[in-house]
Amino acid sequence: MTLSAESFAYVAEIVRRRSAIQLDVGKEYLVESRLLPLARAAGQEIDEFVDALRRRQDPGEITRVVEAMTTNETSWFRDGVPYVALRETEVPRLVAARRGVGRLRVWSAACSTGQEPYSVAMTLADVLPPSMQAHILATDLSEQVLERARSGRYSQLEVNRGMPAGMLVTHMERVGTEWQVAQPVRDMVEFRAHNLLDAAPAGPFDLVLLRNVLIYFDMPTKAAILERVRRVLHPDGALMLGAAETTLGVHEGFERVSVGRTSLYRPLAVDASGAPAPAVVGPPPAAAATGVPLPRRTAAPVLPATTPTPGRVTSTLPPRGATR
Amino acid sequence: MRALVIDDSRTMRRIVSSTLERIGFETIEAGHGREALDHLEAGERVDLACIDWNMPVMDGLTFVTEVRANPAWRDVTLMMVTTESEQGQIVRALAAGAHEYLIKPFTADAVRDKLDLLGLIPAEELA
């Protein structure tokens, strides 16, 4: 059963209205693959399902469809190199800069089922000194995925996607046939529903991850989202985008800097129009007080007993070759 | 890049080999650890070994231990590919010298993710 052009246009319209995500012609397969499970659950063919959706205009149903369309598959430590840069360069720099504050704040935007914020949390758990706390705010449009993310439970197939074995045995626990993120790492992450079209969560954040999500938005929306992010970034904080993304040509309020083998974006204090803009707006962050103490590392990362080759893969996050 | 695929199931060897070949590896196969050591002792160049745990004659963990005991083979990256999924088993394999651990069943994307972690995606794939 294929999707009619009419059904596709309707779904594209409600998704655009509710999330500003553009579903261009050619993305029919995406609509089909995401909505088929919902249609089947209702005992309907996909066109019948979309017809009923249009007739009923039930806000709850429409929300479920928009959520199904905007949920992304994610893997652990996606692209590898950015996490090595965090571990080896950016986090140590931030630790030194925030020594007086004793706390790092991270925002993982469009976090989907939680692999990204938990990957950041595991990285921080390994490298932050005991005197430093971390709080990671993880947001997504979809309540459904946030609920899954909060549980911290993943199937074997999901864990196989990019989770280094050393990290797995250090930061996850076997629960029946699944794996669960260990409590100390879960405690570092707060999941909350948020639409990137709305005002950003209260800053300042030392690090914002906005990875592989801007591609879904049109140009003015991309620029508006980047502006909101810029305003909640600490002046010496950093924005991390997806491997193939850049602010260049979209928003001029960022400076691209090379960190390790990846690029990060630092906010400029002057906005795109040239007018001075405060680096941070909004009320003082009440959430800043919710940072939890980091777990003391009770166990060293599990490493092979011998280090057969210098520079070879023996750490919990192996050195990487080149990125894709 | 050259991979040695070690598994007592011929079907599984073909699945692992064809996944690696699609990524750009040349592959050779062995039905157990002893046969795999024969390949290495014969001087075959191997960049990556994908190793099942439970096999007749010589199991995967013994193979890993043997490879790690010989400095001549220190450049061989060792990845367990097994149904053994207990946390304690993963720790044992890493402690014996395995670099990575992939639990069956797996998808082709999961193999690629692991090779990416290991810095073993062939250069032509990166172009």
Tens of pLDDT along chain B (127 residues) come to: 999 999 999 999 999 999 999 999 999 999 999 999 999 999 999 999 999 999 999 999 999 999 999 999 999 999 999 999 999 999 999 999 999 999 988 888 889 889 988 988 866 554 4
Cβ atoms A167, A104 nearer than 8 A: no
Would you place residue A73 in the very low, low, confident or very high pLDDT band (cuts 50, 70, 90)?
low
Work out the mean pLDDT of chain A and round it to a whole number. 81
pTM: 0.74
- Picking from B74, B113, B125, the nearest residue to A308 by CB comes out as B74
- For B12, residues 6+ apart whose C-beta sits below 8 A from its C-beta are B52, B104
Q: Which residues of A touch B (CB under 8 A)?
A: 75, 77, 80, 156-157, 159-162, 164-166, 168-169, 173-174, 302-306, 308-309, 312-314, 317-324
Q: How many CB atoms lie within 10 A of CB B96?
A: 21
Residues A157, B105: C-beta atoms closer than 8 Å: yes
Would you place residue A26 in the very low, low, confident or very high pLDDT band (cuts 50, 70, 90)?
confident
Spell out which residues of chain A touch residue B120, defining contact as CB-CB under 8 Å: 321
A140 among known catalytic residues: yes
Please give the Cα distance from A318 to A222 (Å, whole number): 33
Would you place residue A71 in the very low, low, confident or very high pLDDT band (cuts 50, 70, 90)?
low
Residues A304, B94: C-beta atoms closer than 8 Å: yes
- Picking from B71, B87, B107, the nearest residue to A157 by CB comes out as B107
Please give the Cα distance from A71 to A268 (Å, whole number): 31
Q: How many CB atoms lie within 10 A of CB A3?
A: 19
Spell out which residues of chain B touch residue A84, defining contact as CB-CB under 8 Å: none
Residues B99, A77: C-beta atoms closer than 8 Å: no
Across A205-219, A238-252, B9-23, least confident range: A205-219
Is B92 an 8 Å CB contact of chain A? no
Please determine, for residue A182, whether its predicted confidence score (pLDDT) is greater than 70: yes
Mean pLDDT of A36-51: 84
Q: Which two tokens stand for residue A104?
A: 């790092």
Q: Return the higher-pLDDT residue of A35 and A259.
A: A259
Residues A169, B94: C-beta atoms closer than 8 Å: yes
Please determine, for residue A141, whether its predicted confidence score (pLDDT) is greater than 90: no
Q: Are strands A178-181 and A172-175 parallel, antiparallel or unpaired?
A: antiparallel
Please report the pLDDT score of residue A302 as a whole number.
Answer: 40
For the stretch A249-281, pLDDT in tens is 999 999 999 998 899 999 997 644 544 444 333
